Amino acid sequence: MNRLEAKVNAKIIQQLSFFLMTNRVKDYHIHVQPTDHGVQFIISSKDITQDMLDFMMEKTNRKRELEVEVYGIELLGDESAHNELDVLGAFIDRMETYTEKDIHHLIITRTYPYKE
């Protein structure tokens, strides 16, 4: 992972944490799992509701846009943005959810478009 990818990953984690905190999710875990071609972020919590998961899926359900990454990284973390999740969708490839033993899990996959 190069510095740009590390910066984008950190911004994604920041935005996910900001969304969870502003929605009163007090206890959550974010696991970062590197893969051969990218990274997966796995968010787990009992406090996340199905409505929150549905909202996150709806807001981030957009096509990955590499050209947005050029200027979009500056928009991530901008508290004046209409909705932080709208921009986040341009940086990820896939989002999946599942529930196991009353714990909601959100798996976000991002492939790295930049060469080292």
Span 18-39, pLDDT tens digits: 889 988 999 999 999 999 889 9
Distances (CA, A) of 62 to 6, 32, 71, 75, 85: 22, 22, 17, 16, 11
Q: Is residue 116 part of a domain?
A: no
| Domain range for 67 | 3-111
pLDDT, one tens digit per residue, over 71-113 is 666 655 555 444 667 777 878 888 999 999 999 999 999 988 7
In this predicted structure, what is the pLDDT of residue 66?
A: 67
In this predicted structure, what is the pLDDT of residue 8?
A: 84
pTM passes above 0.75: yes
CA gap 20, 23 in Å, rounded: 5
In this predicted structure, what is the pLDDT of residue 73?
A: 61
Residue bearing tokens 């990953």: 9
Angle between helical axes of 3-22 and 66-75 (0-180°, round to 10): 60
CA gap 101, 13 in Å, rounded: 24
Residue 62: pLDDT band (50, 70, 90) is confident
Q: Is residue 89 part of a domain?
A: yes
The neighbour count for residue 82, using CB atoms within 10 Å, is 8
What is the CATH number for 89?
3.30.565
